[in-house]
Amino acid sequence: MSGILITGGSGQLGNALQALAAMRGLPFSVVSRPDFDFEKPQTVAACFVGALPSLVINAAAYTAVDAAESNPAAAKAGNHTGPLQLAELCAAVDIPFIHVSTDYVFDGSKGQPYTEDDATAPSGVYGRTKRDGEEAILATAAKAIILRTAWVYAAYGRNFARTMLNAARKTNVLRVVADQRGTPTAAPDLAAAILDIVKILQAGGWKPAYRGIYHATGSGETSWYGFAKAIFAAAPPEFPHPSITPITTADWPTPARRPADSRLDCCKIAKIFGVRLPDWRSSLPPIVAALIEMDAPRP
Ligand SMILES: NC(=O)c1ccc[n+]([C@@H]2O[C@H](COP(=O)([O-])OP(=O)(O)OC[C@H]3O[C@@H](n4cnc5c(N)ncnc54)[C@H](OP(=O)(O)O)[C@@H]3O)[C@@H](O)[C@H]2O)c1
pLDDT in tens, 52-102: 999 999 999 999 999 999 999 999 999 999 999 999 999 999 999 999 999
Catalytic site positions? 126
Q: Is 37 in the pocket of ligand 1 (CB under 6 A)?
A: yes
pLDDT for residue 2 is more than 70: no
pLDDT tens digits for range 6-64? 999 999 999 999 999 999 999 999 999 999 999 999 999 999 999 999 999 999 999 99
Atom nearest to 74 CA in ligand 1:
31
Q: Give the E-state strand segments of 105-233 in sequence order.
A: 144-149, 152-153, 173-177, 181-182, 185-186, 212-215, 222-223
Q: Is 102 in the pocket of ligand 1 (CB under 6 A)?
A: yes
Q: Domain 4-158+184-220+263-278 carries which CATH code?
A: 3.40.50.720
Cα 90 to ligand 1 centre (Å): 20
Residue closest to 108 by CA, chosen among 179, 175, 178: 179
3-state secondary structure of 11: coil
> 57, 63, 79, 214: which to mutate for ligand 1, most atoms within 8 A of CB?
63
Q: Is 38 in the pocket of ligand 1 (CB under 6 A)?
A: yes
Residue closest to 182 by CA, chosen among 146, 151, 159, 158: 151
Q: What is the pLDDT of residue 298?
A: 83
Mode of pairing for the β-strands spanning 181-182 and 55-58: unpaired
Would you list the domain boundaries of the chain? 4-158+184-220+263-278
Q: What is the pLDDT of residue 1?
A: 41
Helices marked H in 41-186: 41-51, 72-76, 82-92, 125-140, 160-168
Axis-axis angle for helices 12-23, 187-204 (nearest 10): 50
